[in-house]
Structure 1
Amino acid sequence: MIYFYLLLSLTALYYSGRVLLFQLTHLIHRVGGDRRFLIIIWSLIFLPGTIIHELSHFFMAILVGARTGKIEVFPEFLDTENPDGGVALGSVQTPKLNIIQGVLVGLAPALTGLGLLVWLGSLILQSYNLATYQNLAFQIYLFFTVSNSFFPSRTDLNHAIPAAITAAVCIAIAWLVGVQFSLSISDGVASVSKVILVTILLGTTLNLFISFIFFILRKAINR
């Protein structure tokens, strides 16, 4: 059941990020900004998260023996003539990867991001208890940027989706031939899962709170 709650909380975090983007988009448009201005503002707000995301790809590629090229952490407009054209917020150049390398490199930001969120969550709690509010503000900002930057992009999932389908088929075949699987989890895994769950819910709450602030600002400008 804990895995279901984790999946549900990750879904909530993802869509709360979409709500945040929606509110920021309308706020930027309300003050006269266009799509490119929105992307620049978004990329600046989440720059620390983007750097962590791309460095996760980079170092995992090195660990699995893949070649790497230059790293981009600032937005790159793919069609300079069209303001509504595609944009890449960050990228790491890699050659063609095999399926194992592709899965590990593609999912590296998610693994790194979850670890950082748990660590930052514990720091936030410590700073709050010690009333060190200067540290608290910075830690909350980092938590906010990482929680909205660790999800894999569509490109990141190019290898992960075929691998997941292959694994699902193998598990189904094993189950059909009589292999028994245990779904029980140890107390240690359950405890870690609960910490991750609380951390993700904190990120969702933070996104919704900031979205509400953007909403209030937009309504105030309308008046």
Structure 2
Amino acid sequence: MTLLAAWFWLFLTLVPLLFLERWIHRHLQGIFLLLTRDHDLATVFYSAIFLPGVALHEGSHWIIARVLGVRTARISLWPRRQPDGTLRLGFVETEKVDFVREALIGVAPLLAGSIAVVLIGSVSLAVGPVGKAIASGDVLGIGQGVLASFQSADSLIWLYLLFVISNSMMPSQSDRRAWLPVTIMLTLLGIALYYVGAAPLVMQSVGEPLAAGVGVIATAFSITIGVNLIIIPIVWLIEKAIVRVTGLQINY
């Protein structure tokens, strides 16, 4: 896969991924709020579901910070509600450092989560045939591939881990804080390399591994979209049943 194709695939899957992930998080919180009728208790149950994903997210922050020689303070897997009303599922406190190391620490959960999602999807659930069937438009093959993925006794456990990790790996706003200056720096560097005629040589060296890395993230995004498209109807039906029984409803 070329670098351009990998980036195109990544951006093609990013928007639906963000939309589906947002829907999942809001409606799962809504279900627990309907069941408990208590914001704090609903938060506890909601956070417990995503605990493995949050642990990987915050753990990857901590590991990369230590590798880069950045001192860390507290690490928490317990949720906190932010001033804007959003829920922050965990955090790692680090010392203030340069924007390059801050950006690397911030992107760590996306990289770790993508690798975990691809490994679980391709090895534990063997969803490769499903992807090929989707690419070829083979509807029967899609169904057969999905059924084959859930034949093992532990497939539901792997599906759960895939779901919570994939929906916890996206960097938060604070994780993305240093991305803009790094992007500007890399853009200026690319322009400079182009004008001195060194861009082709650099691309020969880093183009293939960079395309592979972007491809892994794009694959993880695609798997996440597929999993969420399976989970969303289930969540929707459960929420509608609770609304019907309790007579309560949440306006999102």
- The TM-score bracket by the shorter chain reads 0.7 to 0.9
- Could you tell me which residue of structure 2 aligns to residue 216 of structure 1? 237
* Unmatched tracts of structure 2, length 5 or more: 128-147, 245-252
Paired residue for 1:171, among 166, 185, 190?
A: 190
Question: Normalising to structure 2: TM-score of the pair?
Answer: 0.73
Alpha-carbon RMSD across the aligned residues, in angstroms, is: 2.9
User: Does the CA contact (< 8 Å) of 1:5 and 1:197 recur in 2?
Assistant: yes
- Could you tell me which residue of structure 1 aligns to residue 126 of structure 2? 125
Number of matched residues? 215
- Is 1:159 the counterpart of 2:163 in the alignment? no
Distance 1:14 1:130, change over 3 A: closer
- Could you tell me which residue of structure 2 aligns to residue 88 of structure 1? 88
- Could you tell me which residue of structure 1 aligns to residue 138 of structure 2? none
Identity of aligned residues (%): 28
CA displacement, residues 101-150 of structure 1 (integer Å, 9 cap, x when unaligned): 10111111111111111111121129x569422x2111111111110111
AA aligned to 1:205 is G
- Could you tell me which residue of structure 1 aligns to residue 132 of structure 2? none
Partners of 1:19 and 1:36 in 2: how far apart?
20
Deviation at 1:8, TM superposition (A): 1.7
3-state SS of 1:152 partner: coil
Distance 1:143 1:161, change over 3 A: same
Q: 5 Å matches for 1:179-198?
A: 179=197, 181-182=199-200, 186=208, 197-198=218-219
CA displacement, residues 155-191 of structure 1 (integer Å, 9 cap, x when unaligned): 111112211122223323544x3646457865x8767
Deviation at 1:78, TM superposition (A): 5.9
Partners of 1:130 and 1:147 in 2: how far apart?
18
Partners of 2:150 and 2:54 in 1: how far apart?
30
Q: 5 Å matches for 1:45-56?
A: 45-56=49-60
- Could you tell me which residue of structure 1 aligns to residue 17 of structure 2? 13
- Could you tell me which residue of structure 1 aligns to residue 227 of structure 2? 206
- Could you tell me which residue of structure 2 aligns to residue 2 of structure 1? 6
3-state SS of 1:125 partner: coil
